[in-house]
Amino acid sequence: MRERTIIAERYTPTIWTDPDGCEHWVMDDGVEGYMTPHVTRDGRPVCNRGQACGTMQADQFFASDSARIHPAGRTELQRFFQSAQAQAYGIIGHTDSRASDAYNRRLSQRRANAVARVAQASGARVIEVSGAGESRPQASNATAAGRAQNRRVEIICYR
């Protein structure tokens, strides 16, 4: 019998969490699946359930066109993350529609990253950080009051 040598490839998994709390994995070759071993009777994964547990109005925490959190806002966020008692957090930045979509996505991502840094420094586990830009408004961008509501960072708690 002749001996054969098989050279195996090494794959690196990537793991992420959807906004609905489902943790996924994907390998370099494109194969993917859910991280949870729990499924419903019809085979759907049972995921962590997250709910919005905090909304920061960006105007109260950031200067216009900035991702730097004011010191008072930093203290308030630290207090929030130390008392919220969630297993993990998702942080999603939003903007109004007054700039280009590409610019707003970058600004909302920078603001979400700033909040995530405060969360992590407070000992919180952050599993998602994203910038939605102007794509998910809470109110009409036709009025100043509506635009102010749309400039926000949402904090999702996974319990």
Range of the domain at 78: 50-158
Same domain, 29 and 60: no
**DSSP conformation letters of 16-50:** EE-TTS-EEEE-TTS-EEES---B-TTS-B----E
The predicted structure's pLDDT at residue 159: 74
Same domain, 27 and 59: no
Cα(151)–Cα(146) distance, integer angstroms: 9
Phi/psi at 16 (nearest 5 deg)? -145, 165
Q: What is the residue-level pLDDT of the chain in tens, covering all 159 positions? A: 677 766 666 666 666 666 556 666 676 666 776 666 666 677 666 665 667 788 889 888 988 889 999 999 999 999 999 999 888 899 999 999 999 999 999 999 999 999 999 999 999 999 889 999 999 999 999 999 999 999 999 999 887
Do residues 33 and 63 share a domain? no
Cα 87 to Cα 56, 61, 118, 120, 130: the distances in Å are 20, 24, 16, 13, 19
